[in-house]
Structure 1
Amino acid sequence: MTDLLPTTRTDAFDPPAELLSDPRPLRRMTFADGHRGWLVTSHELARAVLADARFSSRQELRRVVVPRPSVDELQAGKPASPGFFIVMDPPEHTRYRRLLTGQFTVRRINRLLPRIRQIVTEHLDAMRRSGPPADLVPAFALPVPSLVICELLGVPYADRERFQRDTAELLRLDATDEQAGTAMNSLTGYLSGLIEAKRARPSDDLLGGLVAGGELTGAEITGIAFLLLVAGHETTANMLGLGTFALLRHPAQFDALREGRVSVDAAVEELLRYLTVVQFGTTRTAVEDVELGGETITAGESVAVSLPAANRDPARFAGADTLDLAHDASGHLAFGHGVHQCLGQQLARIELRVGFAALAERFPSLRLAVPPEDVPLRGDMAIYGVHRLPVTW
């Protein structure tokens, strides 16, 4: 059996079988660039790696997990661009995170709840007016988080086609160096211009606040905007699309949600655990020798942490391979763990709770408009999901 990261799925909702069938929670793995490192698949060891400061997130130490002749290779071995705090370690990471944490507190995100409900209602109203069938991705799953993150950041929603196109290009596994570079330059150029416009004309939004704060350069704010805009719409959009597909393929679970026999809060946590759209997980590199799971990870060796596999670990979750909205999915790693745990997780949770609850209430007879095998899956993208989801009611 090859020791490259398994990527071939045999089921729309399950990680590759080789990730789940091998009982070893820590095993050798060859990265796409030939580096001999490690693969973690258990929940316990995944948490241990993600919480241990001896495992670095620094961009210059990162290894390419899967063959991807584009963004990863363009950035491999280079220091992080200004503002790209997710590929930095403390204290650089801490400085950026401190400036942003206040924007994503539960209290602040809860203040967005009425507007999120309004956005969801407006899009479901439009979908009903257009009548069945509909493609749930452009009608609902993609525009809802896109509009929310645009309003939070202060990015004109009218420009959504541009940033959605560039983002999609950057997430393609088969994008060429030229295609990825063009998309990266396009998106950073657009955001840089937007930041300069806010400097000339102050705005009451997150990016405007960072500009007014005076602690960051324009390049740093551009990098932050890039991360928040891309992550803020892509991950939640794919959870809405893939999550709806999963519910329609498990109608008893959809009925339980619609009838209120399970809480929407619990349903969202279980869907996050079960689906884990960051399909290749994350990587860390040891900066000193570390004992882990009975092995020695040597300084300089990289570790791929499979979040999808960790979230299906039967040692942590009973019935791990079953979608059961009544499960206790607390402690799942869909948002990561440790100092790099997803900054926007509370925003994502609220969008998913409002979105799934409203969809179940407004469209109780929702069903697929095509055979399930005809739903195109995003196995070709770094963020998993569905490219389209034709539905009727």
Structure 2
Amino acid sequence: MGIESVLSEHRTFHPDQTFVDQANVSGMAHYEKLCVAANENYEQFWADLARELIVWKKPFTQTLNDSNAPFYKWFEDGELNVSYNCLDKHLNTQPNKVAIIFEADNGDVTKVTYKELYEKVCQFSNGLKTFNLDLGDRVVIYLPMGIEAVVAMLACARIGLTHSVVFGGFSAKSIQERIKDAQARLVITADIQFRGGKTLPLQAAVDEAFNLGGCESVIGTVVLKKSKDPIELDSKKIWWHDLIKNQSTKCDPVFVNAEHPLFLLYTSGSTGTPKGVQHSSAGYLLHAMNTMRWTFDIKENDVYWCTADVGWITGHTYVVYGPLAMGATQLIYEGIPTFPHAGRFWQMIEKHQVSIFYTAPTAIRSLIKASELNKESNP
């Protein structure tokens, strides 16, 4: 039995000539030329891209090791640092360019430049060093959308730790499962998060996860304070602001092997036990950068917005690593599409002059539904 399609959209939208002339892939002829190059010698194709886009500490000499297929290794004798590729390499060319425009749930806006983001990441990296973790140790990140989530991920990458981000809407049981399976050494969370006009607990969920057992590998927890209420932390927890107090805004990156695990991201578990999927440093970064260039056609003056949460792979690639490695200015939003009204997305696009917008069909459907309900209630 086939799947019935309910799609009835037949319109096509052709770009104007100015758009075509400026595009990173200028048309079908360009696309077909890339396909021919990839098909004729895919190793050379990816080697050329890796040398063009990534800054290497130690250049690779072997593109692909397929001796243990299907466990392929790419650029395995090369060395790099992903945080360096997202931050340091921009400091000589665009230190004062806005890296992130953050709009909070309540509408407050914060902007950070590449230099400011670099300093925040270095400070937090130096704070993480005080835990004396080893290269490749796993760090679970359970944070709301915001600048700090990006900082935490890049700080882990900077000093060779492997982060595992957990979506902020997941339960204590989901957190516990991931901590236990990854044998995480550290947890980074916040006391609360703001979402859709509501205040939701995060630290309490982490505490509950610990109480479920199996989290004995964790030696400490860093807590970002977002509420104004006085809260006491136990001896195994430290406030984010206390961790970075008096820390230097410079931190040398740890250069790692191209196959070093950058992050461990778990499947949702909707069809069984969540499975941790490991992503290596160089191959993943190259994919993130190249798709930003060819798929999203990112340019120097664009303001880019991907609405995905960093707890998902889309958020990892198209909110954190892809845009920053390409030196883009991007918008990050803390809230939901329909708060305080269903026009929030369009309002933000206009306010921040977003030129590239990437969202999910689910979000669009929710906005269509909200629009239809509004028409029914206001005929």
Which structure: larger Rg?
2
| Higher strand residue share | 2
Band of TM-score, shorter chain? under 0.3
Q: Which structure has more helix as a fraction of its residues?
A: 1
TM-score between both structures, scaled by the size of structure 1: 0.27
Structure number with greater CO (CA < 8 Å, separation at least 6) is 1
